[in-house]
Amino acid sequence: MARLKSTYSTYVAAQEKKGAVTSLSHKATVRIDTRISKAFSSAQKSATVKQLNSVKLMRQRELKGLTGNAII
């Protein structure tokens, strides 16, 4: 069974022959994907810390509101 080529694949192949496009190796794409994944993971950790700090601050404000200006 013949494999169908998409218009995009055909276009990229033609541009690659002209030297206008450089295809990435498998290693390069894996390296890029890994870096993107690590960046998102880092952003998630940072957001989690900010959310926890926000909850902590809200609880402190609630306690301060309930007890007047007394520090617990």
d(CA 30, CA 40) in angstroms, rounded, equals: 15
User: pLDDT per residue over 11-32, tens digit each?
Assistant: 988 998 998 888 889 999 999 9
Residues contacting residue 16 through CB under 8 Å, at least 6 positions apart: 22, 23
- For the stretch 29-62, pLDDT in tens is 999 999 999 999 999 999 999 999 999 999 988 8
Mean pLDDT taken over the chain: 87
